[in-house]
Chains A and B, each alone.
Chain A
Amino acid sequence: MATRIDRRMAKLKTEGRPALVTYFMGGDPDYDTSLSIMKALPAAGADIIELGMPFSDPMADGPAIQAAGLRALKGGQTLVKTLKMASEFRAGDNDTPIVLMGYYNPIYIYGVDRFLKDAIASGIDGLIVVDLPPEMDEELCIPALKAGINFIRLATPTTDDKRLPKVLQNTSGFVYYVSMTGITGSALADTGKVAAAVKRIKGHTDLPVCVGFGVKTAEQAHVIGANADGVVVGTAIVNAVANVLGPKGEKTADPAEAVATLVSGLAQGVRSARLAAAE
């Protein structure tokens, strides 16, 4: 069964351009503002939305996303509200894929079966759960696949050829290539190395490969997009929200507009990148 992610990726392939995958933190700085950001993303040029689920201890994230998660939690965000946000978005947009991204504990506490049922009802298409490697597939990955939700796995520079098949085995939707070892928001890796890594992964799978970690500007999105099926931007978007918040968290400008401006620029960068390899 093709999911929204499969359909979107197939469509972009016929258009000959990579996807722009945008991450933002659900509930940052509050529910309503965050929902307005989400609703603004497709029109600004986002092809796939990653909806961040805040967690108190985000061990793979840099300072920007840590701070965004804390703002969201302080604003009262919960997994219940993140799912509600997705369903409110879905009521007005039945095409843009939504991928929930975060850590396992809130899902485990919510209850895996109940979570999958509610995620489907909320129009969620995929999951990225940072702290569930293939060794822990029985926890959530297998149940999610059975329920018809894509489980998108991260591949990293430390994932060698021997390990790649294990990582790719139960991956669906797309493969998220983490461009460097490190936390979110670090400096962009050598683009030549990234291109080589994408090629290496494509030797093992027919799935689209999207590249993230370190992409912040339209120019970088353009360069990375030339050799990948998609470009993921997260920290830059989260920063665009933070930049219009005052010292006490008060809004000094419209965060949705700030995000839309950034994403429009990134979309131009991505759209001007030609898919060199995939043809």
Chain B
Amino acid sequence: MDKPATPNSFRTGPDEQGMFGIFGGRFVAETLMPLILDLERNWNEVKNDPDFKAELTDLSTHYAGRPSKLYFAEGLTRHLREVSSAKGLGGGAKVYFKREDLNHTGSHKINNCLGQILLAKRMGKKRIIAETGAGQHGVASATVAARFGFPCVVYMGATDVARQSPNVFRMKLLGAEVRPVTAGHGTLKDAMNEALRDWVTNVEDTYYLIGTAAGPHPYPELVRDFQSVIGSEARAQILEQEGRLPDTIIACVGGGSNAIGMFHPFLDDKEVRIIGIEAGGRGLDGIEHCASMNAGKPGVLHGNRTYLLQNSDGQIMDGHSISAGLDYPGVGPEHSWLRDSGRVEYVPILDDEALEAFKLTTRVEGIIPALESAHAIAHAVKIVPAMDKDQIVIVNLSGRGDKDVHTVASMLGMEI
């Protein structure tokens, strides 16, 4: 693939057709097309509407708990400086965590859900549908649906329903109906297919609250904009706390909503190195991973063109990751474009490396990170010892790991 010409700014996309270079677009059935155009019209109206912004800011502050803190991870920094010294390097950058795990519902997902529920309300929709993998987006969707009095149906792969039962129960408590999807392998990709089938059937009154910065235009743009509060805050906070921009920022990428939210405000800060972490699963040699940008190729799925795990016939493969939230064979289209343009590096982290970072962070910071976020921390663990002491790294701690303790226990051969 040819590398696209370097643009003056990396923050202007998508174009009017919803394209980021060759990525993105609106690859949907005709039945959905008028709905997507209607959504785009409404989105264009609200995105610069001060009343909408004020309502969202108020909810973000008083309901979700924003701004989230930018925390100097002193314990992890000290640990990695010891590692650096042991290697005879004598370095070790300062590590900061952007604490999205402290948000209401325990992850960055609430940022997007609050924005979209206000949009749904304004559009006069009567019913919310959502897809979920690990259940974090399902819980956040069920939460805002409860708060605003919408009936909510969450599609979740049957495999995920079985391995994420606490979140299934939370969604039910919140009044949502969880519909297990048995098609395919019963994971996030299949849940998304089923949500689209619901939407194509219930076109009049239903709002599809998509959970990541993917899908047909305008979803990748609007989800990014709702999540960009992460990067905007982090940028202001680091300037406040350190008086300068970070050297490196890191976030994990499944569909990529926490990452694009973290990255977007920094894209034109050329001195900031930006790294997205894909799920390397059990290694990129086989098929047990979800590293679509490292091991996949561009294709069309779920309404957009993007890097996908697929075979030579264009059939989509099921990925694997220890973390259900990264277990998706595609990625948001803007990441694909940022990859090809070279602005952002995307590297894989293996299941085992993420698990080690999970344990380390819990021990030295007293913070149990989500397994998704542990992938981003694992990469910091790799690169920080070789950096200088006066350098700064921000890791987006996208969610808390309480939901993962069962998975981790079984990985470690423990019973709880």
Contacts and interface: CB of A to CB of B under 8 A. Distances in A.
Given A57-B184, A57-B193, A66-B183, A154 B29 contact: yes
Interface in A81-113: 103-110
B155 to A, nearest CB: 12
B26 A60 contact: no
A105 B299 CA distance: 6
Contact of B300 (A62, A78, A104, A167): A104
Nearest to A133: B33
A83 B163 CA distance: 41
Given A59-B193, A108-B299, A136 B31 contact: no
20 contacts: A55-B314, A56-B315, A56-B316, A59-B200, A60-B200, A104-B27, A106-B314, A108-B300, A109-B297, A109-B313, A133-B27, A133-B29, A136-B27, A154-B29, A154-B30, A155-B30, A158-B31, A163-B33, A181-B200, A181-B203
Contacts of B305: 108
Interface in B1-43: 17, 25-35
Interface of B: 17, 25-35, 183-184, 189, 193, 196-197, 200-203, 297, 299-303, 305, 308, 310, 312-316
A116 to B, nearest CB: 16
A3 interface: no
B295 to A, nearest CB: 15
Given A105-B310, A109-B310, A133-B33, A57 B299 contact: no
A157 to B, nearest CB: 8
A79 B297 CA distance: 18
Nearest to A110: B314
A131 B300 contact: yes
Interface of A: 55-60, 62-63, 66, 73, 78-80, 103-110, 130-133, 135-136, 153-160, 163, 167, 178, 181-183, 186
Closest 5 CB pairs of A and B: A109-B314, A106-B314, A182-B201, A56-B315, A156-B31
B313 A78 contact: yes
A60 B193 CA distance: 8
A232 to B, nearest CB: 15
Contact of A135 (B33, B35, B203, B297): B33
A178 B201 CA distance: 12
Contacts of A183: 197, 200-201
A141 to B, nearest CB: 12
Contact of B197 (A59, A73, A158): A59
Contacts of B314: 55, 79, 105-110
A243 B313 CA distance: 28
Contact of B313 (A62, A106, A178, A181): A106
Given A109-B312, A110-B314, A56 B184 contact: yes
Given A56-B315, A60-B197, A159-B34, A105 B29 contact: no
Contacts of B33: 133, 135, 158-159, 163
A278 B300 CA distance: 39
Given A60-B29, A178-B30, 16 more contacts: A55-B315, A59-B196, A59-B302, A62-B197, A105-B301, A108-B300, A109-B297, A132-B27, A133-B30, A133-B33, A135-B25, A153-B30, A154-B30, A155-B30, A181-B200, A182-B200
Contacts of A155: 30
A26 B25 CA distance: 28
Nearest to B183: A66
Nearest to B34: A158
Contacts of A58: 193
A206 to B, nearest CB: 20
Given A130-B29, A181-B200, A105 B300 contact: yes
A167 B31 CA distance: 11
A156 B30 contact: yes
Contacts of A109: 297, 299, 310, 312-314
A172 B34 CA distance: 21
A154 B31 CA distance: 9
Contacts of B193: 57-59
Contact of A133 (B28, B196, B201, B302): B28
A73 B310 CA distance: 13
Contacts of A73: 315
Nearest to B315: A56
Contacts of B316: 56-57, 105
Nearest to B297: A109
Contacts of B299: 105, 108-109
